[in-house]
Amino acid sequence: MKFDAVYYEPDSLNYPLGKQLKENYGSLPWIAIENHNAIQEMREKPNAEFARMKRNLIVGTRKTHKYTENHKVSDYLVPYTSSGCTAMCLYCYLVCNYNKCAYLRLFVNREQMLDRLIKRSKTAGRELTFEIGSNSDLVLENTITENLLYTIPRFAKEGSGRLTFPTKFHMVDSLLDLPHEGKVIFRMSVNPQPLIKRVELGTSDLKQRITAVNNMCQAGYPCGILIAPVILCENWKELYTELFEELKEGLTEKARSQLFLEIILMTYSYVHRAINGEAFPGLPDLYDKEMMTGRGRGRYCYRIEERDKAESYLRTEIKRILGDVPILYIS
Ligand code: SF4
């Protein structure tokens, strides 16, 4: 991956990962900043610069470590080694939190974060599942930091319960031989390939993602698939039926037999519209005023009648094509 510059908190260079990044990206300009959350120069850039801003790496330390309760696949969302991402999915949920500053930030105090996580996992009194990838894409991040190579074997050896993270990337080869002890649940997020091309800019193709699931499953990782986010565009029924057929064709029997699904319908917002309209003027507008609620400056989601119709269609097609694969939730 090519970057233009690294913005860094000087203290980051006191950590092993900070030193490593400096070595790996030493040929780029390194620009000192006071705080990764307040880079004035970035804040002042127009929305049209969104894609170019994503070509910078931001390096700092994570200062807040509050775990948030979650009641889906995991028990807690854990702020971990990164936030933001270099890809540009037009609906990316991180844009709601970071606005146009949804670029990739790397937090180099990983030893501190994993120590804390392992301790929490062992003192919980029961086996918990910790979601460590809710703020970024850890498979993508791992290609820059090797943080999963650090995290998975250490948690497998010292932690209790499970870790999980979702991804839209296929670069899992370096994870296959890691000792994971079945303690890491890998979840691949998929969408129909025509939507990946038009809407999930900079992510891996569907075929590559399916191969990654097969390989992770073969390596013994428990695996799930997120159909997310479901986008109710003009020909959505046809597209999602094709997707389920491609999953049926492409997934190995081993993967299909242990798989679970999560399904999330797209939410969108005023902020997404404002940024996408200026940064990607030729790309589709995902806001559909007929099908979505929320017309002001807030968040938009599909109307309840549309959601019900979609849920019923997706459940029927999954059952018809993929059989009795468990659907953990549709939200
Ligand atoms: Fe956002 Fe995930 Fe897409 Fe990255 S891959 S832009 S984190 S939705």
Complex prediction ipTM: 0.99
Q: Give the pairing type, strands 30-32 and 5-8.
A: parallel
Instruction: Look at residue 38 and tell me whether its pLDDT is greater than 90.
Output: no
Instruction: Look at residue 6 and tell me whether its pLDDT is greater than 80.
Output: yes
CB-CB neighbours of 137 under 10 Å:
24
Ligand 1 near 168 CB (within 6 A): yes
187 CA from centroid of ligand 1 (Å): 14
Contact 118, 159 (CB under 8 A): yes
Please report the pLDDT score of residue 295 as a whole number.
67
Instruction: Look at residue 97 and tell me whether its pLDDT is greater than 90.
Output: no
C-alpha dist (Å) from residue 267 to 92, 118, 174, 243 = 9, 33, 33, 20
3-state secondary structure of 10: helix
Strands lying side by side in the sheet with 162-167: 68-69, 76-77, 129-131, 162-167, 184-190, 223-230, 260-265, 327-330
126 CA from centroid of ligand 1 (Å): 32
| Residue closest by Cα to atom 3 of ligand 1 | 89
Q: Is the dihedral of CA 42, 8, 119, 153 positive or negative?
A: positive
Please state the atom number of ligand 1 nearest to the C-alpha of residue 84.
Answer: 7
Ligand 1 near 87 CB (within 6 A): yes
| Confidence (pTM) | 0.96
Instruction: Look at residue 296 and tell me whether its pLDDT is greater than 80.
Output: no
3-state secondary structure of 253: helix
Q: pLDDT tens digits for 252-269?
A: 999 999 999 999 999 999
Average pLDDT over residues 63-68: 92
Please state the atom number of ligand 1 nearest to the C-alpha of residue 137.
Answer: 7
Please state the atom number of ligand 1 nearest to the C-alpha of residue 95.
Answer: 1
Comparing 97-101, 151-155, 170-174, 210-214, the range with the smallest average pLDDT is 97-101
Q: Which of 195, 268, 201 is nearest to 227 (CA)?
A: 195
Q: Give the pairing type, strands 267-269 and 299-302.
A: antiparallel
Query: Phi/psi at 294 (nearest 5 deg)?
Result: 85, 100
| Residue closest by Cα to atom 2 of ligand 1 | 137
Average pLDDT over residues 161-173: 98
Dmax (CA) of the chain? 56
Query: Phi/psi at 68 (nearest 5 deg)?
Result: -110, 130
125 CA from centroid of ligand 1 (Å): 34
Q: Is the dihedral of CA 150, 151, 157, 158 positive or negative?
A: positive
Q: pLDDT tens digits for 113-154?
A: 999 999 999 998 999 999 999 999 999 999 999 999 999 999
Q: Which of 240, 224, 232, 235 is nearest to 191 (CA)?
A: 240
Q: Which two tokens stand for residue 52?
A: 């170019």
Q: What angle do CA 267, 38, 19 make, to 5 degrees?
A: 105
Q: Which residues contact 242 (CB under 8 A, 6 or more apart)?
A: 192
Pocket test for ligand 1, best of 54, 89, 271 (most atoms within 8 A of CB): 89
Cα–Cα dist 107/105, whole Å: 7
Please state the atom number of ligand 1 nearest to the C-alpha of residue 94.
Answer: 1
43 CA from centroid of ligand 1 (Å): 20
Average pLDDT, the chain: 96
301 CA from centroid of ligand 1 (Å): 18
CATH number of 5-330: 3.80.30.30
251 CA from centroid of ligand 1 (Å): 23
Average pLDDT over residues 210-215: 98
Q: Which two tokens stand for residue 316?
A: 């029927």
Amino acid at 292: M
Please state the atom number of ligand 1 nearest to the C-alpha of residue 88.
Answer: 6
Indicate the DSSP class of residue 72. S
Q: pLDDT tens digits for 213-238?
A: 999 999 999 999 999 999 999 999 99
Please report the pLDDT score of residue 163 as a whole number.
98
Q: Which of 135, 143, 47 is nearest to 92 (CA)?
A: 135
166 CA from centroid of ligand 1 (Å): 10
Please state the atom number of ligand 1 nearest to the C-alpha of residue 169.
Answer: 5
Please state the atom number of ligand 1 nearest to the C-alpha of residue 85.
Answer: 4
In order, the DSSP letters of 107-174 are E--HHHHHHHHHHHHHHSSS--EEE--SSB-HHHHHHHH-HHHHHHHHHHHH--SEEEEEES----GG
| Residue closest by Cα to atom 1 of ligand 1 | 92
